[in-house]
Each structure stands twice: as structure tokens, then as C-alpha cells.
Amino acid sequence: MKLYFDPERMQQLAKKHSEEFKSGKPYEHIVIDNFLDPEALEKVLEEFPAKGTKVWHDYETHFEKKQEINGEGKMGPFTQHLLYQFNSAPFLQFLETLTGINDLIPDPYYYGGGLHQLNRGGKLGVHADYSKHVKWPLDRRINAILYLNKDWKEEYNGHLELWDTEVTKCEKKVLPIFNRLLVFAVTDFNMHGVPEILNCPEEMSRKSLAFFYFTNGRPEHEVDKNKKLHVKFQDRPGDYAPANAQDKKNIIGYEPNPVKRFIKQVTPPFLFELGKKLMS
């Protein structure tokens, strides 16, 4: 099968965008359009599982309504082939030159990465990512997301939003259009999400490939010693101040009781549903 990352081209691209990445606001990031040979993404789309397929893992809580496929054995053969290349030396060297972070380590397990999909009505609340690898004592430093969405319109929502640390202001919105690569730094303070409810046609979905990269250790200033949750979600201003009862019903998973809301936010969906059955 074809290899899509030419080392010389990748190094040139990284050097071209390195300063822009480092000067990104509210934190280090870069958006690169027409990143990959579109032939490759066309083949991924041909294999992309439909939203009703059992291989998807569904998340449905107050903060998120999304689908993921993490295990490579659940993906098509070409998709697996392409994903391996995002864990290869040419792409790791591209990221190291781009970000200035040396000795990056890929995740062959794709924990939390792999194929992502948000369907109509889906969202992903503003959050700071998990900072430690699930299996190894490694620190998560970089996210790379490649979007697969043709003919995506602004009115569909689905923007990846970058927020300030205190979640008072959205400082950057990235529309998830076909063959757009987003790379951004991961710390305990870098808040981001897809918080606006997806408004695409029923037959469409917001599709992406997600990759996470790690190092052995990280700078101390990137660590929030008060962060207690694996993933730290945070409400945007006004998210829980609906004007009336009807507005509350329009918020996916809205729970007016603050104690119950907190329990629902931090409990994995399958445990939450099991608890409800045992209490009924």
C-alpha cells in the first residue's frame, strides 16, 4: 500500500508552520488545510462505519453525545494502514519540528483516539483532556485531528472551539472541513470542545481521525495539581441558566439538581445506567 508521508515534504511543512503554532492563541495550535492526499481520505470514507453500526462506542452524558472507535481491528484495512502512518517516524518528526517537543511517543492503542463521529444533536462539552496515558506512565502533550467532512456548512455547527483557561471566552473556532488538520498542545489548562449542538442533516455526521502523542514527563507549569477528574469538563457562561422550563428541555441531558448533575457528569455512562436500574 502507498505511503503518504514523505519525510522531506513533512519537514518543510513543519518548519513553515512552526512559529505560527507556537504563537497560537489561547494556546499553541495550528490549522493546516489540504494536508493529505485526498485519495487517502476518500478511501477512509468508503470504509467509515455507518452511525448505527455496532463497532461504535457511544458516549451520552450531560456534557457529551458522541461516538468513538478505538480498536484498530474494528476498522477497515485501508483505515488501519493510514492510522499506522500517523504513528510512524515521518509524522513524529513532523510533530517534533512543528511543536518543538522532542521524543514524542505515539499511542498504538488509540485510547480515546481513532475514529470519531458526532451525529445530528451531538456535542462535546468544553474540557481539558486526560493528561496521563491509560496504560503507560506517559504524559499526553499533543492532539492531532484530521477532519473528513465534505460540504460542511457553518450553520451545521461542529466547530472545535478553543477557550481561555477560565472558560470565560472562546478565542478560536475551527470548522471541521474535509482534509483540514488541527494540531494543538495538551495541558491541564487547555480547554476546548464542540459545545454547540450539531445541526447537520440527519444523513450526515461530523467525522474525524484523532491521534494523541506523549512524552516521558512534562513541564511543571502544564500540570494543575487541583485537577481531580480524568477529563475536566467545565460549563460555558450561561450553559446552566436557561430562561424557562421549555429551554431546559432543549438542553441535552440537562439535570437541574446540582448533586445529581455532578454524579452524572463524572460517572461512566454504563455505570450510570446500571445504577438507575438498580435503584428503580
109-167 residue pLDDT tens: 999 999 999 999 999 999 999 999 999 999 999 999 999 999 999 999 999 999 999 99
* pTM of this structure: 0.85
Domain of residue 105, residue span: 7-239
User: What is the reported pLDDT for 243?
Assistant: 44
For residue 20, count CB atoms less than 10 angstroms from its CB and return exposed for 0-12, middle for 13-18, buried for 19 or more.
middle
- What sign for the dihedral angle of Cα 63, 44, 213, 144? negative
Together in a domain, 14 and 118: yes
Residues 130 and 154 reside in one and the same domain: yes
pLDDT in tens, 178-193: 999 999 999 999 999 9
- pLDDT at residue 97 tops 60: yes
Same domain for 234 and 246? no
If asked whether residues 180 and 270 sit together in one domain, one would say: no
CB 200 within 8 Å of CB 156? yes
Shared domain for 275 and 150, answered yes or no, is no
With CA atoms as reference, report the closest residue to 103 among 139, 69, 71, 55: 139
**23 assigned to some structural domain:** yes
Residue 273 has pLDDT above 90, yes or no: no
Distance CA 180, CA 178 (A): 6
The domain total for the chain is: 2
In a domain, 278, yes or no: yes
Q: What is the pLDDT of residues 225-257, one digit of tens each?
A: 888 668 989 989 888 644 444 444 433 344 445
2 in any annotated domain: no
Q: Say if residue 169's pLDDT is above 60.
A: yes
Residue 278 has pLDDT above 70, yes or no: no
Do 104 and 164 have their domain in common? yes
Residue 102 has pLDDT above 70, yes or no: yes
Domain identity same for 113 and 83: yes
Three-state DSSP class for residue 209? strand
271 pLDDT higher than 90:
no
52 in any annotated domain: yes
CA distances from 252 to 88, 154, 167, 173, 270 (A): 39, 21, 20, 22, 17
pLDDT score of 250: 36
Asked if 15 and 50 sit in the same domain, the reply is yes
Note whether 145 and 199 are same-domain residues.
yes
So what's the pLDDT on residue 105? 98
56 belongs to a structural domain: yes
- Report the run of H or E that residue 274 belongs to, with start and end: helix 269-279
Residues 246 and 213 grouped into a single domain: no
Tell me which residue has cell 505511503.
Answer: 3
Is 182 domain-assigned?
yes
pLDDT of residue 72: 77
CATH of the domain at 149: 2.60.120.620
Residue 68 in any domain: the answer is yes
Whole-number average pLDDT of the chain:
88
Q: What is the reported pLDDT for 252?
A: 35
Judgement on whether residues 173 and 251 belong to the same structural domain of the protein: no
- For residues 188 and 278, membership in a common domain is answered with no
Give the pLDDT confidence score for residue 242 in this predicted structure. 44
- Ranking 71-75, 95-99, 158-162, 172-176 by mean pLDDT, the lowest is 71-75
Task: Look at 6-10, 20-24, 247-251, 268-272 and tell me which has the smallest mean pLDDT.
Answer: 247-251
The per-residue pLDDT for 239 is 83
Q: Which cell goes with 243?
A: 430562561
